[in-house]
Amino acid sequence: MTTVHARFNLDYPNFALDVDLDLPGRGITALFGPSGSGKTTLLRCIAGLERVAGGLLRVHGEVWQDGTMFRPVHSRRLGYVFQEASLFPYLSVRRNLEYGLRRVPRAERKVQLEQVVEWLGLNKLMDRDDPSGLSGGERQRVAIGRALLTSPSLLLMDEPLSALDLASKQEIFPFLERLHDELDFPVFYVSHMLDEVTRLADHLVLLEQGRVIASGALGETLSRLDLPTARQDDAGVVIEARVAEHDETYQLSRLDFPGGSLWVGKVPRGTGALVRARVLARDVSIAIVPPQGTSISNILSARIAEIRYEGRDRASLRLAVGDRQMLMSRITRRSCDLLGLANDMQVFAQVKSVALIA
Amino acid sequence: MDFSFSAAGLSAADISAIWLTVKLATLATFILLLVGVPVAWWLARTRSRWKGPVGAVVALPIVLPPTVIGFYLLVAMGPDGPLGRITQSLGLGLLSFTFAGLVIASVFYSLPFVVQPLQNAFENVPERALETAATLRASALDRFFSVVLPLSKPGLITASVLGFAHTVGEFGVVLMIGGNIPGQTRVASVQIYDHVEAMEYVQAHWLSGAMLLFAFAVLVVLYTFNPNGKR
C-alpha cells in the first residue's frame, strides 16, 4: 500500500538530491545511509523545511507540494523530531507538550495529552518549569510527545537517538517500539545505525550520495547482497517469528517462522507473541551434509539463492529458508570453492547466534 | 553669585520639566518599540542588498552631532519641508516647536539604541527553534510572538531601557526642534541649561542630581536584571 509519494531534485554545488520514492502509508520506514547521503535533506524536503522548486509530495492522497503550490511547514500535518530535542527553554514541560496541541483544531485532535503523558512516562516531569534540567533521554521523550500531540498524519524522526548516550538510548527504545506497534500513521526514521534500523523498521530506503539505491521491505532489502549493507561488518537479516514454546529445563524458547524454527535464550514473552530476531551473516556457516556432533543447535535446511564474492578472500551467500525467509552467510572464498557451492544447491545453514531485538 | 540654599529643592517649573521629560520618553519608547521591532527583525533576517544602507541610516544618530539631526528634522518639519507639507495638508499645522515634533525627533534620535539590541537578540534566535515551532503548526506571525519575542526578552528589556534613557538625556535635538517652551518642549536637560544660563546653580544642582540618580538607577537595573546570556 503506497500512500506517500515523494519526488525531489536538488542541485547544490556540493550536494545533489535526486529522489523519486513511493513509501508505505503504515509502519516505520527507515531512511538509511552514511552521513552526506542526503537522508536528513530528504526528510527536511518532506517536512517543507527545505523548499525545493518543482518537488512533488503527496501524502495520503493530499498534495503537499507540486509544481504550482507549496504548502508551508505549519500547514502540513506532520510531526518532526529533531536530533537534539529542541524544547523551548522558556516554557515548562507541560507548556512544551501543549505548544503544538493548542494549535490543532479540536476536531482534528486524535491524541490526548493524558494518553501521551502516560504512554511516554512523562508524569513525573510535567511540573518541571525549566526543561534544561531534564536528562537527554527525558528531553527527547518530551519532544516525541510534543510531536505526537499534533495528531500528525506522518511522523518524521531525524536520528532521534544519535545525540544520546547508551543508557538514554535504552530508555527510549521501548517507546519507539511501542510507536511501531500502536500508531496508525507512517513514521519516516532517519538513521545511520544498522542495529537501530533492524530493530524498528518495516521498510528500508537506502540512500547514497543523494540517490536512492534500494527501497523495499526490511527483510528482503537487508538480505540483498548487491547493496552496501551486505558489506558492513554487522550485515545480517531480520526474522519475524512467533514464540512457539518454552523449555524450562534449559531456559530456552523456540521461535517458529515460515520455513523453520530457531532455539534462543528464554524470551520473556508468552507463546504466540510476535518477536523479531536478527541473524548476522558472520554467524552463519555452511555444511553440505547434515552436520553431526556439533554444539550448534540451530541448523536450518536452505537453498543457495545467490553467491557473491567480496574481494579475493570472502564470499557472501544469500540463502532461502522455506519460501520467504532469507538468511545471509559470510564465509571464506576458499571454503566456498572447497565445498563446491553453487546456486540452487541445498545446504545446511548453521546459525551460531541469534539476537532477539524486539 | 547666589549660592544660598534658600531656593533649595525643585521648583514648580523643574517638576513640570521632569514630568514633560518622562512623558516624552515614555511615548517615544512606545513608538520606538513599535517601529524598532519590525526594522530590527528585517535587519536580522534579510539577505537583501539594502541591509547595509538601511542599517547605516538607522545608526547615523550614533555618529552625527544631535544638532545636525535636529537641523535636518527642523527643515523637514518646516513649512516647505516634506514632513511639514504632509502635516499641513492633513490640517495638523507644523510640528516644529511642538511636543509632537519632539516625539518624532526623539524617535529618530534614539532609534539605533533600540534597533541594535533588538537586532542582536533576533540574530541569536536559533533557526532550529523556529523550525521546531513551524513543525508544531505555528505560522510565521505566531512564531514571532511565541518563539522570537520570548527568546529575545533580554534584548527587549535592554532596548526599552536604552531607548527611554537616551531620550531623557537628549539636549541638542530638543533645542533645535522644540526650542524652549515651558510645559511644551522645555524638558529637564533644557531646564538645567536655563538654570545655568541664569546662574541659578542651586537649582541646576538639584535637577542635575536628580538626573544623575536616574541614569545610575537605569544602569543598575540594566546590569542587574539583564545579565548577559541568561534568559
Of A176, A193, A228, at which residue does a domain stop? Answer: A228
Residues of chain A with Cβ-Cβ distance to B149 below 8 Å are none
Residues spanned by the domain of B59 = 27-187
Question: Per-residue confidence at B3, pLDDT binned at 50, 70, 90?
Answer: very low
From A215, A205, A255, select the one nearest A30 (Cα to Cα). A205
A27: domain CATH number is: 3.40.50.300
Of A161, A194, A228, at which residue does a domain stop? Answer: A228
Q: Is the pLDDT of residue B19 over 70?
A: yes
Pair A35, A181 in one domain: yes
In a domain, B57, yes or no: yes
| Cα B198–chain centre separation | 29
Residues spanned by the domain of A248 = 236-356
Torsions phi, psi for A55 (to 5 deg): -65, 155
In a domain, B111, yes or no: yes
Pair A183, A272 in one domain: no
Residue type, A206: L
Pair A249, A183 in one domain: no
For A202, left (φ over 0), alpha (ψ -120 to 50), or beta?
Answer: alpha
B100: domain CATH number is: 1.10.3720.10
In a domain, B78, yes or no: yes
At residue A104, the pLDDT reads 95
Average pLDDT over residues B23-38: 95
Average pLDDT over residues A24-42: 92
> In which residue are the cell numbers 553453487 written?
A342
Q: Is the pLDDT of residue B230 over 80?
A: no
| Cα A139–chain centre separation | 22
CA distance A254 to A278: 15
At residue B228, the pLDDT reads 53
A243: domain CATH number is: 2.40.50.100
In a domain, B3, yes or no: no
C-beta atoms surrounding A309 within 10 Å:
12
Torsions phi, psi for A303 (to 5 deg): -115, 135
At residue A340, the pLDDT reads 94
Q: Is the pLDDT of residue A296 over 80?
A: yes
* Residue A29: strand pairing partners: A188, A203
In a domain, B226, yes or no: no
Higher pLDDT, A166 or B124: B124
Q: Is the pLDDT of residue B1 over 70?
A: no
How many domains in chain A? 2
CA distance A275 to A222: 18
How many domains in chain B? 1
Residues of chain B with Cβ-Cβ distance to A104 below 8 Å are 137
Distance from the Cα of A75 to chain B's closest Cα (Å) equals: 6
Distance from the Cα of B137 to chain A's closest Cα (Å) equals: 4
Is A256 exposed, middle or buried, given 0-12, 13-18 or 19+ CB atoms closer than 10 A? middle
What is the per-residue pLDDT across B156-191, written as a single tens digit (0 to 9) for each? 999 999 999 999 988 888 888 888 888 888 888 889
Question: Per-residue confidence at B4, pLDDT binned at 50, 70, 90?
Answer: very low
According to DSSP, the β-strands at A155-158 and A16-24 are unpaired
Pair A199, A294 in one domain: no
What is the per-residue pLDDT across A21-30, written as a single tens digit (0 to 9) for each? 999 988 899 9
Helix-helix angle B201-225:B188-197, to 10 degrees: 150
Of A208, A228, A248, at which residue does a domain stop? Answer: A228
The reply to whether residue A78 touches residue B129, judged by beta carbons under 8 angstroms, is: no
Pair A308, A347 in one domain: yes
Question: Per-residue confidence at B42, pLDDT binned at 50, 70, 90?
Answer: very high
Question: Per-residue confidence at A85, pLDDT binned at 50, 70, 90?
Answer: confident
By Cβ distance, the residue of A47, A86, A103 closest to B137 is A103
Question: Per-residue confidence at A148, pLDDT binned at 50, 70, 90?
Answer: very high
Pair A144, A177 in one domain: yes
What is the complex's ipTM, to 2 decimals?
0.85
Question: Per-residue confidence at A177, pLDDT binned at 50, 70, 90?
Answer: confident
Torsions phi, psi for B39 (to 5 deg): -65, -45
Q: Is the pLDDT of residue A233 over 90?
A: no
> pTM score > 0.80 for this model?
yes
In sequence order, which ranges of B5-152 are alpha helices (DSSP H)?
12-45, 51-63, 66-77, 82-89, 99-123, 127-135, 140-143, 149-151
At residue A179, the pLDDT reads 77
At residue B226, the pLDDT reads 65
Question: Per-residue confidence at B5, pLDDT binned at 50, 70, 90?
Answer: very low
Average pLDDT over residues B58-72: 91
Pair A183, A244 in one domain: no
Number of H helices, E strands in chain A: 8, 20
DSSP for B64-107 reads S-HHHHHHHHHHHHSTTSHHHHHHHHTT----TTSHHHHHHHHH
At residue A1, the pLDDT reads 53
Size of interface A-B (CB pairs under 8 A): 60
DSSP for A287-319 reads ESS---S-S--EEEEEEEEEEEEETTTEEEEEE
CA distance B75 to A161: 64
Distance from the Cα of A271 to chain B's closest Cα (Å) equals: 41
DSSP secondary structure code for residue A53 in this structure: T
For A27, left (φ over 0), alpha (ψ -120 to 50), or beta?
Answer: left
Q: CB–CB of A126/A94 below 8 Å?
A: yes
Average pLDDT over residues A149-168: 91
At residue B8, the pLDDT reads 54
Q: Is A9 on the interface with B (CB under 8 A)?
A: no
Average pLDDT over residues A91-109: 95
By Cβ distance, the residue of A78, A86, A90 closest to B231 is A90
